[in-house]
Amino acid sequence: MIRRQWFTLAWALFILILTGIPGDQIPKVLTFLEWLSPDKMVHLIMFGVLSYLMLYGNRQQYFKSRNRSYYIIIAVLISAVYGIITELLQFYVFIGRNANVFDGAANILGAASGGLVYFLQFNKNKSKTKSV
């Protein structure tokens, strides 16, 4: 199982490294109106890719399962929790970094979007195989 998840683990390490770099040059987001800043898009993409890679690594189990939503929910939850952990690390551990509630929300939305993209891709591929 781990050998199928090395992309996921590498991406998770990449996220940890990025979130641990001192953020002197990163623009600060102070209000909800600044929600769609480039920083939030980066959070959405990072955690969307994490969820997607996790599901992709488990694709054999996903396709064989009758309860496919289970795999999506678990991947999204793991990615979302990881996103919250990175924000807590920025607050308590990483020097020069600050936690941000909106970054955490973007992490969670990104995790959910990765699961949604995988789900939509699967349904698209499933409908193509039925029509053939």
Q: Where are the domains of the chain?
A: 43-124
- Token couple for 109: 């939305």
Q: What is the pLDDT of residue 43?
A: 93
CA distance 111 to 84: 11
Q: Helix crossing, 101-131 with 68-92: angle to 10°?
A: 160
Q: SS3 for 22?
A: coil
Tell me the C-alpha distance between 52 and 63, whole Å. 15
The whole-number pLDDT of residue 132 equals 44
**pLDDT-flagged residues of the chain (< 50):** 131-132
pTM listed for this prediction: 0.80
Can you tell me the distance from the alpha carbon of 68 to that of 47, in angstroms, rounded to the nearest whole number? 20
Residue-level pLDDT at 26: 57
Q: What DSSP assignment string belongs to 101-130? A: HHHHHHHHHHHHHHHHHHHHHHHHHHHHHH
pLDDT in tens, 43-65: 999 999 999 999 999 888 888 88
